[in-house]
Structure formats: C-alpha cells, structure tokens
Chains A and B, each alone.
Chain A
Amino acid sequence: MITSFSRTVPVLFGPGASMRTGLKVKELGAQKVLCVYDQGVKSAGIADKIIDNLKAAGLQVVIFDGVKADPPDTIINEAAVMANEEQVDGVVGVGGGSTMDTAKAINLLLTNPPPINLYYVGSGREHKPGKVAVMIPTTAGTGSEVTPISVVSDTATNSKKGVIGPATTATLAIVDPELLLGLPPQITASTGMDAFAHAAEALTSGGMNPMSDVLGEKAISLITQNLNKAVKDGSDLAARTNLSFAALIAGFSFSDSLTHWGHAIAHTIGAKYHIPHGVGCALALPAVMEYVADAVPGKVRQVGLAMGLSLDENLSPAELGGAVAEAIRQLNREVGIPSLKDFKIEESSLEQLIDGVMTDDCFMFGPKRASAAQILGMLKKVYEY
C-alpha cells in the first residue's frame, strides 16, 4: 500500500537546548512573541528562564500565563484577542500538552478570523498557516511539539475537539530534557504512559504506516526501560533524556498513523471525570490491545516485543492480546498509575461513557469497528484494572 510520511517539524533536541530559544526565535524572523504557560511552569522557575532568554536575544515578550488543563475554547479565544491587540508575530509555548495546544490554537487565530470553534475537525473549514510558533515541552508525553493537532475543550458541548492544520503545527520544537528534572513522579508516570499509548495505538491503528511503526517500537522500548527510573529518581538526566526522545518520536509516530480507541476512551473519561489524560490512556490501553489483537495480531506482537516480552510464535491472537495487556498493566502498577476505583467512579456509570467514546474523533481510527456492546466490554476491563 501507499503511505505518506508527512510530519516535518524541525527539532532542536538535547539537555540545555532551551538556552537557544531566543536565538532560534530571532532566526525565524520574529520580533515580538507571546509566551504561553501555566502557573505550574511559572512556579517551577522555567517560564522566567525562557522569558529572560528571549529578552536577552533582543525580543519583545508579551505574557499569557492563564493556561488551564484541558484548554477551554473560551480561554484560547480571549488570549488570541490579547495577542492580536499586541500585534505579536509569534508564540512560544512552554509547558505540557495543554499549554502547547493552547499556544498552537492561539497561533491559528493570529492569521485566521476567530473563534477557534470554527476550525474543529469536521467543520470543513481549512485555515491558513499561522506565524512563528516555537513549542518547548516540559513533560515527556504529549508529543504536541511535533504533531499538527491542537485539542480544545468545547465548553458548549463539554467535549474535546481537534483542530488540525498548518497553524497548529509548530515551526520549531525545542526539546530540553533538563526542563523535566523537577517533574513530580505521578506526572512523570501519567505523561510517560500517554506517550506509550501514542506509540502503541499508532502501531495498531488502521493507519498501517511503516515510519510510524519504527518510531512507535523505539518509543515503547525506551519508555519501558526508563519510565520507572525517572519516576523513582526525577533527577536521572539519562532517563529523562530517553523519555523526552521517546515522547518526541511517539508524537511523530501518531501524526501519520493516529491514535484510536485508547484515546477515545481517555478523552471521554477525562471529560466526564476530570481524570488526567495520561492516566486515562494508561488504563484504557491494555483492554484496547486485547480487543484489537484479532485484527492486527502482528502489530500487537510488535508492541509486546518492543516491551521486551518473549512471545511464543504459536500464541493465538487472544493469548497475544492478553500477554501484552498484562505487561502494560504491570508497567502501570510499577509507575503508580491509579485505577478508576481510586477516583471513586462506580462501575454502573460506565454505560454512560459509550456514546462519548463512539463519537470521539479518535474512535474512527481503530483497525476494525466496535459496537456499543463491545465498547462497554472494553470499559469494564478498564475498570477491573
């Protein structure tokens, strides 16, 4: 079959890379940028370091520090008004997925009429490229620094919507593992499992993209070997570097092949119960691997092999799915991923999630179709964890 390898965000990678932020932004032609971050990044001292770096290079900096988790459309629209009033010619996003998605969505509104809601996937409305957009992740998970997607929480419908296109694709990603050294263990774990899910879902989606497969396998391998180390010792720079690289290539991996049911489940659980995205992904993934094993047994095997499992060649798809699912559950336990029960969710409420899963954009990209009853079956397995 014919596939496309279309993701080409340039990346500056390595410990200390963020020290070149000002230099690179200036090289890209910007003079006045909006620096986007949240209070966590500010209190960790990372935001000030980046702002100082930008200013030292002679750039004017306007600040937007009001990013919220699961970024709401309203905040993006308000920040864009401010950015346009200030006539910035670029954005610098410093933070996790919510921050980078906010920054990329603002970038879209620098060159396209508001509001962001006009550009949701399925609207049929395309957008023009934005201005200079430099993304600097402070977690190893989302991959948003290299994906063309911004995920926005639509406040009118209380659902997550995707915006995809040139303006929601960074001009440059600056990945500096040193920025992660102070990240708390539970965030390290959940964001790491988000990246793991990107890789495993990209491998097993309907996309069948060999570049995604190669990148996904390596990401899975690096995360399996390094996540627990970084959770136990947040200052382990080698582990942080491996995880940053894994998240980066997992982001490239799912840009072409796309994530599927695990993310559809995580988005739905996240919207309803406000469970961290990475935790939702980590909990959903084992059941999803079991369920798709009959459709893509070879790919599920690749996930398992990348995790270092020895898998007998004669395993049936069901046995294969079971073995890989159990290994992921084991990794979840090692790094301290909590269960749905820990969030005081009742098993009887799972049925209410089915519609949300089936209408999530990611639901489309599985390697086969799933009925409502089958989704409920998966959700029950997620709950059992």
Chain B
Amino acid sequence: MAKVYRVNVKTKTIAREELKEDYRLLGGRSLISKVLSEEVDPTCDPLGAGNKLILCTSLLAGTTVPAAHRISVGAKSPLTGGIKEANSGGTFATYMARHDIKMIIFEDLPETDQWHLLKIGKDGTPELVPAGGYAGLNNYDLVEKLKGQFGDSIAVISIGKAGEMQYRNSSLQNIDFSTGYPSRANARGGLGAVMGSKKIKAVVIERNETPHVFQYADKERFEAARKKFTEVIINNAGMQWLREIGTPALVGITGSVAIMPFRNYSGGFNDKLSSITADQFMNNIKSRGGKTGEPCQAGCVLHCSNRYHDPDGKYVTSGLEYETIALCGSNCAIADLDIIARMDRLCDDFGLDTIETGATIAVCMEAGKIPWGDGEAAIGLIKEMMEGTELGRLLGQGTMATGKALGVKRIPVVKGQALSGYEPRNLKGTGVTYATSPMGADHTAGLTLEAPLDPLNPLGQAAVSSMLQPIFAAADSLMCLFAWFAAASPDTIPELLAGVYGGEWDFNKVIDIGRQSVLREKAFNAAAGFKPEDDRLPDFFTTDKAPATGSVFDIKPLELDGVLNY
C-alpha cells in the first residue's frame, strides 16, 4: 500500500503510515475531500492549528497513463472559509509517485517563527530541515538555490513571500517539466497562506534512481486500455488547438462573444481583443524564440504548455494560460501580452493566484485607484503586494476584501473567491457552476463552454452544470482535465481503472468518485456555516444587463438550490 507522511509542525515529528484501504480508490480532489471531512473541523480557523494542509497525487499517478500526474493541495480555504482543493501538473506528483508516496499531511502550528523545509531524500526518508536561509525568497530564486544545495534532480512545491505573509490569494508553485521553472500553480483559494501558517517554505523531493514499480491488478488489460486511451488523445483532431497554441487559443473564441470578462466583469465586448488573441500570442512566441506545444509533466501527450519570451528573446514566464490573459489582461482592459506575461511571472514568483490577482486589480481600477488598461500601474499594484505596503496587504486579502474596502459596488466573487475567465451572464451554465460549486467561483468545477445549449438562454443550464460538476470532480481526482476530456468515454477510463485497480468499472462508477466528492464538500461547507444563500452570484449579475448581449443571470434561486442534489 502507498505511503502517507504525516508531519506535525509543532512537535516536528513525522509519522509514516500506509494509505487506508478505503482511500485506495480515491485520489486528487476526491481524496482531499475525504481526508478533510474526516480529520478537519469545518469551523476551524483556516490559518489556525486545527486546519491541515494536504498534498496528494491523482488516482492514476504512478501508472504509465499519459498526463496522470497531478498534485492536489487541500485545506480549509482562508479565502472562502470553505473546503478547497487546487491542483497542478509539473513534476511534483511524478516524484511522489516514484517514491510511492500518496499523501503528505501537515498538521498543527509551530511554536516558533522558524521556517522549515520538508525534504524527502533519495531513499524516501522524510526530514524536517531548518529553512531560515530560504525564508524571504520568492519561488524562482528559491528553486535555484534549492537546486544549488540538493542538485538539479529534485521536485519542489513551495510558497513565495505571498504565502509567507499569509495572503489569502497566495498559491503553491511547482516546477514545470519543460522549463524547470516554478511556473505551475496550485493557485486558488489561498492555500499558500495555509502552508505559510505552518511555516513550511517548501517540500523538496530528491529523485530516486529506481522508481517504485506500480502493481497493476491486471497488467494486460491495463496495457490494452492505456494504448487505446493514448491513441484516442493523439488522434483527437478536436484537441489540435491545445497542442498548437494551448489555452490562449480560447481568447479569440470567448472574446468574440463577450464571454471573456472585460473591465471588471462589465459584460461588454473587449474593444482591443485583437491585441491579445492567439494570432498575436503566436507571433510573439515564434518571433522571439518562445515555444508552444510543451508538456508540463513527464509522459504527457497533449503538450499544451508554453514558454513566453520578451522582445529581446529573454525568458519571461511559462505556462501563460487563458485564465491569466482573461483576468490580468482583458478584465483589466490591458491589451498587451508582454505586460500580461510579466504579471504572470511576478505572480508565479511571489506566489499569487493570477485569477484572484487580475480580479483584484480590476476592482482597484473600478475604484479609480489606477486607470483602466494601465499595465505598468497594474504591475505596480503587484509590487505593492510584494513589498507589503498598506494597500499591498489589502490586495493580498483578495478581491472581496479589496472591493469592500474601496467601496466598489460590483465585486465579482462567490464564497469570497473571484470568478475566473467566463462572464456568467453570457455563459449561464458556468454561472450556475460558479454559484453552486463548493469550491467557490471556479471554472474547473464545471465549465459549460462545450455544452450543446444556447449559453444566453437559461433553459437547461442548471441541469448541465449539475451533470458536469461530478464529471469535472472525477477528472480532477484521476488525471489532467484536458487528457480526460480528450479521451474520456465509457470504454476508456473504466477500462484503465479495471486494469489498474481490478474489479469491474463502468462510467457511472467513475463519475461517482466525483459525485461523492462534491457531496462531501457540500457537507463540509454546510458544517462550516454555508447556507443556500451563499450559492448565488453577486446581485449585479442578476440586475445589470451585460452591454454585449442585454443578458442578465436569470437562473432562479430554486433551480440553483436543486443543483448537486442527486
């Protein structure tokens, strides 16, 4: 059975456990929800001794399934006050799996201000190492210094200064497979602050020479299923855009129908859209030695990541994604990809969620703190966060806190978390997901962009969101979402699981992993004090017509209350 390391940051002890039998068929988001439900009091202070920070791998990690290695991080969120799971690709989950480590749990609070690293050695031995020399570093310098000490063959998940300062918009970052930089983010919900509260600067895993050999229940069946799954992904012409461009390809698609947010979720069209669409992005990539089509994790066949260079051909950032362009760009009326790339780099380095950061900056623009579209001023706000000025510390508390403090009427958050890159009046199904997901407003909880419905017509939107949310939760429990959607079908995923874990599987049993997870999350939030009234979008979406479409968010409360009611 896979290993679990339980780290008490108060006593500085590490218990080695075996993964419980009833956790065996869980991973990623579903394992996080299970452990949090069983071990954490939903009413606890997210930054107090009662909260736990959980790192675990996806259910198919350790296998040779492509894109199976996601690292999930979970805790009670200091941003939403509810349950939270955030995952990323990168190298960390692969290294955990090489050591057959399923989960690492950090408990309690330290009694001193001393920072530590959790180091897992080549032989798999975990050790808390004083990290005084690393505190105060941001992620890029931190990873470089760690490589200097431990060698290049390490995986790292870490917080920058934002996490140290317990900003509620802070992320954990882990190393991108292609570039070697800490550009993959477990971004949402301020989990970096939970790690910061426990005074853990980073987890470092040394690469073992001989990786753990995964024991398949039925190797032959698995190999046949893996081959089919891989072929479906490779041959899926509908995913070609991801390989060639990556998620920035969505900018033109959503922007042209006013689904991409513009000027603090005004609901209008972006009048400078062409400056940030895929054509401009690809021009900048190609003319400066950047790259698309890169894998963020070993063994991926989708290759949707990228590296972005400045006009002098110098590396700026990697994994520049649609959501960052939508929130730090369009939503702030910033129409310059070079500025957006710099914002992305600063966020990765300092350890901030780019979605929350972009939404917070737009709220500042709405309040008149800085002008709309002023990229340098936006970067100035991120630097204020980094420097910890009074305004910077406010911004670090997220969009809701900033909006309220500045007296902004339109604050685009649900359960305290900023909406991601889809305007809910113009893509109503995703609005339902934003409103009802136990995670707070988040597209990876159930994006409806591909649903066969008129996105402006309320008809069927609650049902589609309700149907999709367990599917997305299942995907986030098993593997990379894109691999799932490139290949998921009743005869691929169930066959994979049958080969890996044995037993008979059908699609419904797979989806049930997600369904049960969502139900546990709902129950956790209810115990934390959330009410049905928290499953709503901010009023302005229901009262102010989106200028691009005349649409308001008109899914009735009664319908929203029935979502996730299986």
A residues whose Cβ falls under 8 Å from a Cβ of B: 1-4, 121-122, 124, 205-208, 257-258, 294-295, 355, 363-372
Judge whether B237 is part of the interface by a CB distance below 8 angstroms.
no
| Known contacts A2-B551, A124-B450: A368-B562 contact under CB 8 Å | yes
Contact of B459 among A205, A355, A363, A368 (CB under 8 A): A205
Residues of A within 8 A of B467 (CB): 364
Tell me which residues across on chain B come within 8 A of A1, comparing CB atoms.
458, 552, 554
B456's contact among A2, A124, A208, by CB below 8 Å, is which? A2
Residue pair B565, A364 in contact (C-beta under 8 Å): no
Which B residues are CB-close (under 8 A) to A295? 556, 558-559
With an 8 A cutoff between CB atoms, is B297 at the interface? no
B463 to A364, Cβ gap below 8 A?
Answer: yes
Establish whether residues B459 and A2, one from each chain, have CB atoms under 8 Å apart when the complex forms: no
Identify 4 new A-B residue pairs, CB closer than 8 A, beyond the known A122-B452, A206-B462, A369-B563.
A1-B458, A208-B458, A368-B462, A371-B565
A368-B550 CB under 8 A given contacts A1-B458, A207-B459: no
Contact with A along B460-485 (1 / 0, CB 8 A): 10111011000000000000000000
For A294, what are the chain B residues with a Cβ–Cβ distance below 8 Å?
A: 558
Measured CA separation A149–B456 after assembly (Å): 21
Nearest-neighbour CB distance to chain A for B448, whole angstroms, equals 12
Q: List 5 A-B contacts (CB under 8 A).
A: A3-B457, A365-B463, A368-B462, A369-B562, A369-B563
Contact A369 B466 (CB under 8 A): yes
Minimum C-beta distance from B424 to chain A (A): 15
Tell me, rounded to whole Å, the shortest Cβ–Cβ distance linking A201 to chain B.
Answer: 12
Residues from chain B with Cβ under 8 Å of A371 in the complex: 562, 565-566
- CA of A355 to CA of B459, assembled, Å: 21
Pair A364/B464 contact, Cβ less than 8 Å: yes
What is the distance, in angstroms, from A152's C-beta to the closest C-beta of chain B?
Answer: 16
Provide the bound-state CA to CA distance between A258 and B463, in Å. Answer: 14
Closest Cβ of chain A: how far from B565's Cβ, in Å? 5
Chain B hits for A205, CB < 8 A: 459
Would you call B559 and A369 a contact (CB within 8 A)?
yes
Closest to A355 in B: B508
Interface SS majority for chain A: loop
| Bound CA span A1–B457, Å | 9
A366 CA to B462 CA, complexed, in Å? 9
Chain B nearest Cβ from A124, distance in angstroms: 6
Q: Are A370 and B562 in contact (CB under 8 A)?
A: yes
Residue interface bits B285-309, CB-to-A below 8 A is 1, else 0? 0000000000000000000000000
| Whole-angstrom distance between the Cβ of A265 and the nearest chain B Cβ | 15
| Bound complex: CA A124 to CA B554 (Å) | 25
User: How far is A365 from B457 in the complex, measured between Cα atoms in Å?
Assistant: 11
A295 to B557, CA, bound (A): 10
Cβ–Cβ < 8 Å partners of B450 in chain A: 124
C-alpha spacing A368/B532, complex, angstroms: 15
Q: A124-B450, A206-B460, A206-B462 are in contact. Are A369 and B565 (CB under 8 A)?
A: yes
Query: Which residue on B lies nearest to A294, using beta carbons?
Result: B558
Contacts of B456 in A (CB 8 A): 2
Interchain residue pairs A-B with the least CB separation, the first 7: A369-B562, A364-B463, A364-B460, A207-B459, A371-B565, A206-B459, A368-B562
Contacts of A207 in B (CB 8 A): 457, 459
Chain B interface size, as a band, is 20 to 34
Write the chain A residue with the least CB distance to B462.
Answer: A369
Q: In the complex the two chains form, what is the Cα distance from A14 to B550 in whole Å? A: 40
List chain A residues, Cβ under 8 A from B552. Answer: 1
CB pair B550 A2 closer than 8 Å: yes
Q: Of the candidates B459, B549, B556, B566, which one forms a contact with A365 in the assembled complex, judged by CB atoms under 8 Å apart?
A: B459
B92 to chain A, nearest CB (A): 34
How far is A369 from B565 in the complex, measured between Cα atoms in Å?
7
Question: How close is A318's CB to chain B, nearest CB, in angstroms?
Answer: 15
State which of B459, B464, B550, B554 has its C-beta within 8 Å of the C-beta of A257.
B459
Q: Which residue of B lies closest to A367 (CB)?
A: B559
Q: When the two chains form their complex, are residues B459 and A258 in contact, meaning their CB atoms are under 8 A apart?
A: yes
> In whole angstroms, what is the CA distance A294 to B562 when docked?
13
Nearest B-chain residue to A122, judged by Cβ: B452
| Max count, chain A CB within 10 A of own CB: residue among B450, B456, B460, B554 | B460
Interface centre among B463, B467, B554, B561 (most CB of A within 10 A): B463
Closest to B466 in A: A369
- CB-CB < 8 A to A121: which residues of B? 452
Determine the chain A residues whose CB is within 8 A of the CB of B454 once the complex forms.
Answer: 4
> In whole angstroms, what is the CA distance A370 to B559 when docked?
9
Complex: A257 Cα to B549 Cα, angstroms: 20
Residues of B within 8 A of A355 (CB): 508
Bound-state CA distance A363–B467 (Å) is 11
B residues 521-566 near A (Cβ < 8 Å) are 549-552, 554, 556, 558-559, 561-563, 565-566
Cβ distance B147 to chain A, nearest Cβ, rounded Å: 44
| Contacting pair A206 B458 (CB below 8 A) | yes
Name B554's closest neighbour in chain A (CB-CB).
Answer: A1
Contact of B558 among A122, A368, A372 (CB under 8 A): A368
Mark B440-451 against chain A: 1 for CB-CB distance below 8 A, else 0.
000000000010
Contacts of B463 in A (CB 8 A): 363-366, 369
Measured between beta carbons, the chain A residues less than 8 angstroms from B550 are 2
* Min CB gap A315→B, angstroms: 19
Report yes or no: A365 in contact with B452, Cβ–Cβ below 8 A: no
**Bound Cα distance A366, B460 (Å):** 7
Which residue on B lies nearest to A369, using beta carbons? B562
Chain B residue at minimal CB-CB distance from A162: B452
How close is B261's CB to chain A, nearest CB, in angstroms? 20
Contacts of B558 in A (CB 8 A): 294-295, 367-368
B207-262, CB < 8 A from A = 238
Name which residue of chain A comes closest to B559, CB basis.
A368
User: Complex formed: what's the CA distance from A288 to B558 in Å?
Assistant: 16
Tell me the smallest distance from the CB of B244 to a CB of chain A, in Å: 19
Contacts of B365-414 to chain A: CB distance below 8 A: none
User: Are B559 and A365 in contact, CB atoms less than 8 angstroms apart?
Assistant: no
Q: Measured between C-beta atoms, what is the minimum distance from A351 to chain B in Å?
A: 15
The answer for the CA separation of A235 and B277 in the assembled complex, in Å, is 66
In the complex, what distance in Å separates the CA atom of A365 from the CA atom of B464?
10
CB proximity of A369 to chain B, nearest CB, Å: 3
- B462 proximity list for chain A (CB < 8 A): 206, 368-369
- Min CB gap B85→A, angstroms: 24
The CA-CA distance from A296 to B551 in the complex, in Å, is 22
Q: B452 and A124: CB pair below 8 A?
A: yes
Alpha-carbon separation in the docked complex, A3 to B561 (Å):
24
Inter-chain contacts of B452 with A (CB < 8 A): 121-122, 124
User: Quick check: A206 and B565 within 8 Å, CB to CB?
Assistant: no
In the assembled complex, the Cα of A370 lies from the Cα of B508 at a distance in Å of 18
A143 to B563, CA, bound (A): 31
Report whether A365 and B563 are in contact in the complex, using a CB–CB cutoff of 8 Å: no
Contact A372 B566 (CB under 8 A): yes
Of all chain A residues, which has the CB nearest B551?
Answer: A2
Task: Please give me the residue from chain A that is nearest to B508 by CB atom.
Answer: A355
Q: Report the minimum CB–CB distance from B236 to chain A (whole Å).
A: 12
Q: Please name all residues of chain B whose beta carbon is closer than 8 Å to the beta carbon of A364 when the two chains form the complex.
A: 459-460, 463-464, 467
| CA A371 to CA B519, docked complex, whole Å | 13
Residues from chain A with a CB closer than 8 A to the CB of B561 are: 368-369
Residues of B within 8 A of A206 (CB): 458-460, 462, 559
Cα–Cα, bound, A122→B563 (Å)? 20
Q: Given the complex of chains A and B, what is the CA–CA distance between A208 and B459 in angstroms? A: 8
- Separation in Å of the B470 CB from the closest CB of chain A? 12
Q: Which residues of B contact A4 (CB under 8 A)?
A: 454, 457
In the assembled complex, the Cα of A371 lies from the Cα of B466 at a distance in Å of: 11
Cα(A368)–Cα(B450), bound, Å: 22
Closest-CB distance, A113 to chain B (whole angstroms): 15
**CB nearest neighbor in A for B564:** A369
Q: How far is the CA of A121 from the CA of B460 in the complex (A)?
A: 13
Q: How far is the CA of A367 from the CA of B559 in the complex (A)?
A: 7
A257: chain B residues at CB < 8 Å are 459
Decide: A365 and B458 in contact? CB cutoff 8 A: no
